[in-house]
Amino acid sequence: MHIHILGICGTFMGGIAQLARAAGHRVTGCDAGVYPPMSTQLEAAGIELVEGYAADQIKFQPDYYVIGNAISRGNPLLEEILDLGLPYLSGPQWLADNVLHGRWVLAVAGTHGKTTTSSMLAWILEEAGLSPGYLIGGVPMNFGISARLSGELTDSPFFVIEADEYDSAFCDKRSKFIHYCPRTLVLNNLEFDHADIFADLAAIETQFHHLVRTLPRSGLVVSNARESSLNRVLTRGCWTPIEAFNETNGWRMLGDDANGTLRLMRGDEEIGSARWSLSGEHNRTNAMAALLAARHVGVPLNKGLEALSRFENVKRRMELRGTVRGINVFDDFAHHPTAIAATLDGLRRKMGGAHENGSGAAPAPRIFAVLEPRSNTMKLGVMKAQLPASLVEADRVFCYSNHLGWDAAEALSPMGEKAMVSDDLEGLVAQIVSAAQPGDQILVMSNGGFGGIHEKLLSALSN
């Protein structure tokens, strides 16, 4: 089979390209501004890339055009495909038909933590010798690639997938995860997001319930009991056993960020423990969900804990990009107020000591939060009122306001002189470097490239 992928450099579509190539198919694709690191990965896999969406790409004559959800009506190649009646389908549909069909799919859904939890789950199965295939919206450091058909056991039935609630394609406005038909489903959390396609939280809950409806009676739903939104989804109807966690008398994960410990609890009983390199309550919740999902396919909890002790996290999740003059520069994908708050809280707890606005304890190293409100939801200003509260653990806040449709300085004004806003990236870097001192922790948060700010900061700090 030959497929030509429109929007191939996105993480999801790039993952599909790699899976298709590994399965022996011919794969070509196009994107606007073919860019690394995905372009580099794809070219290394023998995939031919074309810059732009010129209509003459129909000369490839593939069996199918696979359309990414970033492609809209008016795209010249898409319009040519429709005019000529050429065969096309969405990425999730192609994946379901050609990769997931007949496999035991373990899907991880939720507003936050999908990439990290999927990576944990795939690693636990890998360490247990189950050699899963996977497709993850990031690069798990334990594996080094974002997608694979399976490990050494090429006939492994297990496939871990990050189950995104975003829409599938211009022609299919259902959430991507509706196509995946999982047997094991993790529901980690559920908040309002993707304001560009969902009117409100209730609309997203409806999509999550559509997903729940697709599970077999022999499957398992692993659900966070603290989330009232998920409880509402399951109350609508569930025909599959539910394994809840984060209940006082049930499964919980405790830990100490300062010394890197995990304690798996069931009620007041400690089931097992481990040491690991991650921090934050959100990551302990991710770990709890991954352990229970892995247990559903036969991995004992103690084996899962052992695997987590060797888990190396995901690129762009509290990734240390460099240290200059005792100043650490971290990169994190956080872009929703809840994720921003959780990431800052995890770093604060890992550093120990106290916030400079606190009292009593010795001051900890300062945290500089460097924020780019870049997601579609953030650009619309839907979450702007929640930003000051989400940044409370930061000692200084630097916000890049480039191309925002709302006043970031006004939104952050409750933070007073603690917050600085600029639409000049070079000027923002200069301000951060001028204020930074040895021992400070610079935490950059964005779901995009942020204009290469990490390298700019490290270079400026060196000089």
Q: What is the pLDDT of residues 365-420, one digit of tens each?
A: 899 999 988 776 676 777 788 888 889 889 999 999 887 778 888 888 888 889 88
* Res. 160: pLDDT tops 70: yes
If pLDDT is split at 50, 70 and 90, which confidence band does 345 have?
confident
Q: What would the mean pLDDT of 120-146 be, rounded to a whole number?
A: 93
Residues 246 and 151 in one domain: yes
Residue 410 has what pLDDT?
Answer: 87
- Structural domain contains residue 401: yes
The pTM (predicted TM-score) of the whole model is 0.82
The enclosing domain of 398 has a CATH number of 3.90.190.20
Residues 288 and 386 in one domain: no
In this structure, the number of other CB atoms found within 10 A of the CB of residue 382 comes to: 17
Residues 224 and 256 in one domain: yes
Residues 116 and 185 in one domain: yes
Domain end, chosen from 308, 338, 360, is at: 308
Shortest CA distance to 116 belongs to which of 265, 280, 228, 269? 280
CB 446 within 8 Å of CB 372: yes
- Structural domain contains residue 314: no
Beta bridge partners of 320: 330
Q: How far apart are CA 228 and CA 189, in angstroms?
A: 9
If pLDDT is split at 50, 70 and 90, which confidence band does 276 have?
very high
- Residue 242 φ/ψ, nearest 5 degrees: -115, 130
Structural domain count of the chain: 3
Residues 291 and 334 in one domain: no
Q: How far apart are CA 390 and CA 405, in angstroms?
A: 20
Residues 113 and 179 in one domain: yes
Residue 357 has what pLDDT?
Answer: 45
In this structure, the number of other CB atoms found within 10 A of the CB of residue 117 comes to: 29
Output the average pLDDT for the chain.
89
Q: For residue 357, give Cα distances in angstroms to 214, 394, 398.
A: 49, 10, 18
Domain that holds residue 129: 102-308
Residues 332 and 449 in one domain: yes
- Structural domain contains residue 96: no
Beta bridge partners of 301: none
Unique residue bearing structure tokens 């000089």:
463
Q: For residue 286, give Cα distances in angstroms to 90, 96, 108, 109, 414.
A: 29, 25, 10, 11, 32
Residues 286 and 197 in one domain: yes
Residues 242 and 339 in one domain: no
The enclosing domain of 74 has a CATH number of 3.40.50.720
Residues 341 and 396 in one domain: yes
Residues 81 and 126 in one domain: no
Unique residue bearing structure tokens 């379901």:
96
Q: Angle at Cα 326 formed by Cα 321 and Cα 327, nearest 5°?
A: 50
